[in-house]
Amino acid sequence: EAGVAQSPRYKIIEKRQSVAFWCNPISGHATLYWYQQILGQGPKLLIQFQNNGVVDDSQLPKDRFSAERLKGVDSTLKIQPAKLEDSAVYLCASRTGTGGIDEQFFGPGTRLTVL
């Protein structure tokens, strides 16, 4: 079974530039998450999708971050404009989301460096 795919794996940009990350979850997983993990910290939830609808985006800095999952499969996360403090690993995760208890499966992440 293929895992969660993310691209790019690494990205270096200058502050005030824009960047986009892509995620393809495990086939059939209805729930998709984006996390931000700053070095030395645990992952912090940015946004949760159920199919193509947003369940929770309360911790997404909406003045600069946006995310979409138009067809309920792939998702993109965008930062515009980037700040130095956005340097982190951005993790995408998915789970079946059909009810009950099941773990989240994480992708390899995109390591963003903002200079």
Residue 25 interacting with other proteins (CB under 8 A): no
Footprint on residues 29-48 left by other proteins (CB under 8 A): 31, 33, 40-45, 48
State yes or no: residue 53 binds other proteins (CB under 8 A): no
- Comparing CB distances to other proteins, the nearer of 31 and 86 is 31
- 14 lies in the site for other proteins, by CB under 8 A: no
**What does the alpha-carbon distance between residue 95 and residue 75 come to, in Å, rounded to a whole number?**
14
Beta bridge partners of 66: 78
Q: What is the DSSP letter of 109?
A: -
Query: And the tokens for 101?
Result: 């208890």
Look at the alpha carbons of 17, 5, 32, 113 in this order and tell me if their dihedral is positive or negative: negative
Instruction: Report the interface residues with other proteins, using CB under 8 A.
Output: 4, 31, 33, 40-45, 48, 55-56, 91, 95, 97, 101, 103-109
